[in-house]
Amino acid sequence: MASLELTDVRKVYGSAVEAVKGVNISINDGALCVLVGPSGCGKSTLLRMIAGLESITDGTVKIDSTVVNNLGPAERDIAMVFQNYALYPHMKVYDNMAYGLRNRGMPKDEIDKRVRDAAQILELTQLLERRPKELSGGQRQRVAMGRAIVRSPKVFLFDEPLSNLDAKLRGQMRVEIKNLQRQLGVTSVYVTHDQLEAMTLADILVVMNGGVVEQIGAPLDIYEKPASTFVASFIGAPPMNLVPVTADGSGLILKDGTHIGAQGLAVPTSGAVIGFRPEDLEVSAGTDTHIGGLELDLKVLGVEPVGAESYVYGIIGGERVVVRVAGRSTSQTEDHLRVIIPKEKLHLFNEAGKRI
């Protein structure tokens, strides 16, 4: 158990390609930190730098206030779960889990005890004598977890461990990983490109884009107060609706020229982007004016019923948006709806995409 601290960590490939551009993250003992972002955002590179599989161009990585920059992967006391599990195909499940302990010269009966304990926790006891190719995807995933937990390392590293599983199993394993991590209380870093996984697992969520950290915080804080349009559109499904506007003295002007009342919003005249979550729109039947809200006209393009809720796709001021309504929607294509965004649910971003 340990804390993990990254200070100004940079990674440059060759002489020009900067994959990670100065990242600062501090993770408390026992916390689960999720790095999320689109592919190529540097999250895996960052994880591999923590693991010691990738050299650190600049900055420091500290585990328990010890700088580990120049230590090999084995000396950092970390364990990693790989995307393809990286199980040794010629070894039985037992030996896969025991390998790291044997390499560290642990006594045989201690190894046996640890492997059996881990197998118990992960329900692998029946499978200890099998080889990886005789296991299902979910079982392999457990073995990979087992190999990490027998070592009781200071830090767990997960590199998209669930992306090779089908959707149902992924949901199950997500819960199991979370419970296991809580139970063992080991500081963990988890990389994923799946925002749902990120939201549900994280104690601290780090949203990355283009090698920089866009936002760090508790998942729901990030959901409620995204720091940029990138974060707003990456976290949440369906993503936040973003509508660019300009302002004049009397109010806001949408892309297609529609004027709407500003309702006290301080929008820079140079332009801005207003954002609102699909579930935060109110479809108004009557003519009552919502106090302190933006009232907009939505032209329906299509409706997707998914059971408990429906997604109404449409256009507001020339921008495509989506509205989530409970249950079934009676809207038809080409309908016009009057929608209201309560003022407190409105997000405002400047021209550069930063939150105002």
Partner 1 sequence: MASSKHVTFPNKFLPYLLLAPQLAITAVFFYWPASQAIQQSVLREDPFGLSTQFVGLANFKHVLNDANYLNSLQVTVIFSIATALIAMAFALLLAVMADKVIRGKGVYRTLLIWPYAVAPAIAGMLWLFLFNPSMGTLAYLLRSTGYNWDPLLNSDQAMVLVVAAASWKQISYNFLFFVAGLQSIPKSLIEAAAIDGAGETKRFWTIIFPLLAPTTFFLLVVNTVYAFFDTFGIIHAVTRGGPGKATETLVYKVYNDGFVNLILGDSAAQSVILMVIVIAMTAVQFRYVERKVHYG
34 binds partner 1 (CB under 8 A): no
Only one of the segments 2-10, 49-57, 285-293, 333-341 lies at the binding site for partner 1 (rule: CB under 8 A); that segment is 49-57
CB of 28 to partner 1, least distance (A): 23
Nearer to partner 1, 143 or 180 (CB): 143
Alpha helix stretches (DSSP H) within 128-238: 137-149, 167-184, 195-201, 219-224, 229-234
Give the integer Cα–Cα distance in Å for 213 and 20: 9
Give the integer Cα–Cα distance in Å for 156 and 192: 14
Determine contact, residues 106/98, Cβ cutoff 8 Å: no
Nearer to partner 1, 51 or 63 (CB): 51
182 binds partner 1 (CB under 8 A): no
83 binds partner 1 (CB under 8 A): yes
Q: E strand or H helix at 49, and its extent?
A: helix 43-51
Burial status of residue 160 (CB atoms within 10 A of its CB: 0-12, 13-18, 19 or more): buried
Strand, helix or coil for residue 293? strand
Site string for partner 1, 260-279 (x = CB under 8 A): --------------------
100 binds partner 1 (CB under 8 A): yes
Nearer to partner 1, 88 or 356 (CB): 88
Site string for partner 1, 145-174 (x = CB under 8 A): --x---x-----------------------
Burial status of residue 306 (CB atoms within 10 A of its CB: 0-12, 13-18, 19 or more): exposed
What DSSP designation does 264 have? T
Only one of the segments 98-106, 258-266, 312-320, 345-353 lies at the binding site for partner 1 (rule: CB under 8 A); that segment is 98-106
Note the residues at the interface with partner 1 (CB under 8 A). Answer: 51-53, 72-74, 78-80, 82-84, 86, 88-90, 99-100, 103-104, 131, 133, 147, 151
